[in-house]
Structure 1
Amino acid sequence: MVDFFFYGTLCHRPLLHAVLGRAVHPEPARLPDHAVHWASEQGFPLIVARTGAVAQGVLLRGLTEAEAARLDYYEGGFGYHCQDVRVETEGGIVTARVYLPAPGMWQPGAPWSLPAWVARWGAMVTEAATEYMDGFGRVPAEQARAGYRRVLARAADRLRARAAPAPTTLRRAQAPGDLDVLSVARPWAGFFAIEEWQFRHRRFDGAMGPPIRREAFVTPDAVSVLPYDPVRDRVLVVEQFRAGPAARGDPQGWQLEAVAGMIDPGETPEQTARRECQEEAGLALGALHRVCGYYPSPGTHTEFVTSFIGVADLPDGAAGQGGLAQEHEDIRSHLLSFDALMALIETGEAATGPLLVSAFWLGRERPGLRAAATR
């Protein structure tokens, strides 16, 4: 049996529960001559030696070697290693293991605040830990760590889905027992993930249906934003090569789209919209108008898209080339009058869902946006 001292995110009991696979009850403890800081420009802490300082944390006693291995898998993948230290408790001095960062990997920033971390990251990281720990014993820690950002993004997607309004004025209101999940497997998890679900659901006649097997393509939530200049009555669309149409056999792999991108962990859809417009088109947006949120292909894909119209200044010369080289983006933008955009939709040259949804919304709301811009 081994004892552990935690000073950072694992002081959050729900996260510790997710990593260990059971509820635990640590006790307060502290490590003299050490201080805890945020890792500079990161969302997690590190501990540093500092004479006279005291690192507050918790002590968890009596873990099995199997549980210690789970902790090693979780922390080791993030570049932390174990060391024995002597910590102070109400009952006296205890020797315990502590996870320390690899020297020089990160620099200390501001003093660490567990409540601040819990408020912004706690639920997301805890949700992600459940998926991350599914790889224990199957996926090497280094490989799991390499995919952690996507795991975190999927966790954020699940939290957004649970928190979103779910009106049921026409559709069935799902009640406990209406969905019986028999098993969920994840045979592939990389930039995207594939999940194999076996489930039963209640039929419209009230009976439970037979077991069904379905594969879901787990795609991170995304946003689209169509920049619109209400004074000049023009939009900006982007053009880039897309693998999906090419794989379908479409002879035209280059597609016209609204600016779009996946929501990064810790971002709101609005923040993503503004970031993507800067990255793809070099545009700073004014007011953002939410068009709607929707599932483009709910039969097979988890992706949920939130579309916006972004008010922008689009003078002649605003179009150009953009994208992030590290993401292999090669993007060209075009300025179009609203009527020219609708003509491209009519001919089928503009055929991407978020662009169509946003253009039709703009067609309805355009008079009001133009009137507000001239006041």
Structure 2
Amino acid sequence: MNENSQIMLRYSAGDIELKSKQTVYHGFFKLEQYQVRHRLFNGGMSELVSREIFERGDAVVLMPYDPNTDSIVMIEQFRPGAIRNNDTPWLLEFVAGMFSANESPIDVAIREAKEEANLDLTENDISPIMNYLSSPGGMSEQIHLLIGIVDSKGVGGVYGLAQEHEDILVHVIKREEAMRLLLIGKITNASTIIGLQWLQLNYKNL
């Protein structure tokens, strides 16, 4: 094993050759076909690889947290991608949404908090947690995960935009109860799992 094989993350965008990118389907979401070569760890370049990439745009996920009551505002909604789930396609999640033109992650978080949970937040209430790729083997989506400090008193109800076919039930859940639900497999959405694990490590500092 040579010395260079131990260097982590030594390649960058300059070490790929994107020969072509073609849209093969464009409906509610978009599917593109990439023809790409990339540098190999043992030297040289790979053969030309063809991959279909799901292009749905980036998303913002907001975890509304009330440090005074150690509670989290969570939403419950139907998700067609979870129909194959043997349990239920209704998932417990955080507030989330896609970008509109010229919006920042905080802009999206403020808008979606109001639409999905009737929460009124300002820029000062929101802080970034991390950005991550949700499924980079076949999807380009990047998730912007943020936390919003809220007052959960009186929060609840059914919200969402009718034109987007949203039917969203809002819950206020104690952090310890949310962790119990995570432990027994009742929370299965990736961004919610990541957010809760971050909160469990950091809630004492909020």
Normalising by structure 1, report the TM-score.
Answer: 0.51
In structure 1, the partner of 2:99 is 263
Tell me the residue number matched to 2:38: 201
Give structure 2 stretches of 5+ with no counterpart.
1-6
Query: Match for 2:200 among 324, 348, 363?
Result: 363
Deviation at 1:332, TM superposition (A): 0.2
TM score, norm. by length of structure 2: 0.92
Paired position in structure 1 for 2:127? 289
- Mapped contact 1:179–1:200 kept (Cα < 8 A): yes
After superposition, residues 37-48 of structure 1 pair within 5 angstroms as none
Amino acid at match of 1:231: N
Instruction: Give 1:345's aligned residue.
Output: 182
Task: Find the counterpart in structure 2 of residue 180 from structure 1.
Answer: 17
Deviation at 1:250, TM superposition (A): 3.4
SS in 2 for 1:329: coil
Taking the TM superposition and a 5 Å limit, the aligned residue runs for 1:244-263 are 244-246=81-83, 248-263=84-99
Q: Distance in 1 between matches of 2:157 and 2:73?
A: 10
Deviation of 1:249 after TM superposition, in Å, equals: 4.4
Please give the alpha-carbon distance, in whole angstroms, between the structure 2 residues aligned to 1:256 and 1:305: 17
Q: Aligned match of 1:279 in 111, 115, 122?
A: 115
Q: Does residue 331 of the first structure (1) align with residue 168 of the second (2)? A: yes
- How many residue pairs match? The answer is 198
Aligned-residue offset at 1:295: 0.5
> Matches of 1:213 and 1:257 in 2, distance apart?
34
The 3 A distance-change label for structure 1 pair 186 and 323 is same
CA contact (8 A) 1:227 1:285 kept: no
2:139 alignment counterpart: 301
> Is contact 1:193-1:217 (8 Å) kept?
yes
Look up the equivalent residue of 1:258 and give its one-letter code. F
Amino acid at match of 1:320: G
Distance, in Å, in 2 between the alignment partners of 1:175 and 1:281 is 39
Report which stretch shifted further, 179-188 or 216-225. Answer: 179-188
Within-5 A mapping of 1:75-90: none
Q: Secondary structure at the match of 1:266?
A: coil
Task: Give the drift of 1:220.
Answer: 1.1
Indicate the residue corresponding to 2:9 in structure 1.
171
Displacement after TM superposition at 1:184 (Å): 1.5
How far residue 362 of structure 1 moved from its aligned partner, in angstroms, is: 1.2
For residues 44-97 of structure 1, the C-alpha deviation after alignment (integer angstroms, 9 at most, x for no partner) is: xxxxxxxxxxxxxxxxxxxxxxxxxxxxxxxxxxxxxxxxxxxxxxxxxxxxxx
Alignment partner, residue 310 of structure 1: 148
Shift of residue 254, structure 1, vs aligned partner: 0.3
Q: Is the 8 A contact 1:217 1:301 kept in 2?
A: yes
SS of 2:188's partner is coil
| Structure 2 counterpart of 1:222 | 59
* Contact kept? 1:309, 1:362, Cα under 8 Å: no
Match of 2:75 in 1: 238
Amino acid at match of 1:280: E
Structure 2 counterpart SS, 1:301: coil
Instruction: Tell me how far 1:251 sits from its aligned partner.
Output: 3.9
> Is residue 190 from structure 1 mapped to residue 190 from structure 2 by the alignment?
no
CA drift at 1:173: 3.1
Secondary structure of the 1:341 match is helix
Structure 2 residue matching 1:275: 3-state secondary structure: helix
Comparing 179-188 with 235-244, greater Cα deviation is found at 179-188
Structure with more contact order per residue of length (Cα contacts < 8 Å, sep ≥ 6): 2
Does the 8 A contact of 1:295 with 1:304 survive in 2? yes
Higher-Rg structure is: 1
Amino acid at match of 1:192: F
